[in-house]
């Protein structure tokens, strides 16, 4: 268990009579500036819908026992293929 001095405790705890003190790194240096705000990510709903559809197909194939088989040939899909792409329908 490490002990903290009153001085170190004061740096980490805001005081009731003023603004919170600036936190410092263990070496005493100032903290890094926070990253600038970024614009929200644009989501392509067509891509999301396509991915969701592929997941639903995979879940249905899992339920009916055909998940591990190539849809066209009926041959087993190698495990490494499904590990790389769990939504694969062909070997």
Residues in the chain: 91
Average pLDDT, the chain: 80
Distance separating alpha carbons of residues 22 and 11, to the nearest angstrom? 7
Say what the pLDDT of residue 37 is: 72
Provide the 8-state DSSP code for 85.
-
Q: What pTM was computed for the model?
A: 0.52
Residue 58 binned pLDDT confidence (cut-offs 50, 70, 90): very high
Handedness of CA 65, 67, 69, 74 (dihedral sign): positive
CA separation, residue 38 to residues 15, 42, 48, 81 (Å): 32, 12, 22, 36
């Amino acid at each position: 268990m490490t002990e903290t001095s009153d001085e170190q405790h004061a740096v980490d705890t805001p005081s009731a009579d003023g603004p919170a003190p600036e936190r410092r790194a263990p070496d005493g240096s100032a903290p890094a500036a926070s990253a600038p705000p970024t614009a929200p990510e644009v989501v392509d709903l067509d891509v999301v819908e396509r991915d969701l559809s592929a997941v639903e197909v995979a879940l249905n194939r899992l339920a009916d026992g055909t998940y591990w088989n190539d849809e066209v040939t009926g041959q087993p899909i190698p495990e490494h293929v499904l590990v790389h792409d769990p939504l694969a329908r062909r070997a």
